[in-house]
Amino acid sequence: MASVLIPLAPGFEDLEAVTLSDLLRRAGIEVVTAGLHPGIVTGSRGIRVEPDACLDDVLARDFDLIALPGGLPGAEHLRDDARVQALLKRMAAAGRYTAAICAAPMALAQAGLLDGKQATAYPGVLDSLKLANTRGSGDAVVVDGKVVTSQGPGTAMDFALTLIELLKGAVVRRQVESGLVRR
């Protein structure tokens, strides 16, 4: 079974984290939400979430993909967390997927994973990082090798469905998407 880690930092973007977790689980993917610290994590809109685990307890596990929700200051916490940075680098070195939405591509950039890649993020985020070797895109979702980025809350479903397709194939993506009654 494919597995995905979704780290939750204080101030995460609620819609993105919940949409990712929900849709990936609908696809039969094992999702582990992990707080940077023990206990309940409060999102940027005040939604309180009890993660499945504490990040320290799952660091040794192998996941197929790590998906970083955005939001501020959540994305900054992910960027500045040494454990998250080490995990991103380890997953990239192992040829696994790293994914980030909204402001969270700043964490991928900090880990050096956007170097030489095409990426997208919340408007202005990539520009503010002044990445000389990253090609910015206005697309809702960008897949460049094993790096996947997306723009923000409004693209969270497209982001999650793209991750489903990468891990489980187009048929499973279509099955999940048809159940959502998207037009």
Question: CB of 118 within 8 A of CB of 172?
Answer: no
CA distance 103 to 68: 9
Among 87, 102, 119, 147, the active-site one is 102
Beta-strand (E) ranges in 46-182? Answer: 48-49, 53-54, 65-68, 97-101, 118-119, 135-136, 141-144, 147-150
Q: The tokens of 131 are what? A: 């990445």
Contact 74, 107 (CB under 8 A): no
Amino acid at 48: R
102 is catalytic: yes
Provide the CB-side half-sphere exposure for 143 (13 A, CA): 13
Greatest C-alpha distance within the chain:
41
Spatial separation of the C-alpha atoms in residues 107 and 151, rounded to whole Å: 14
Q: Which residues are known catalytic residues?
A: 102
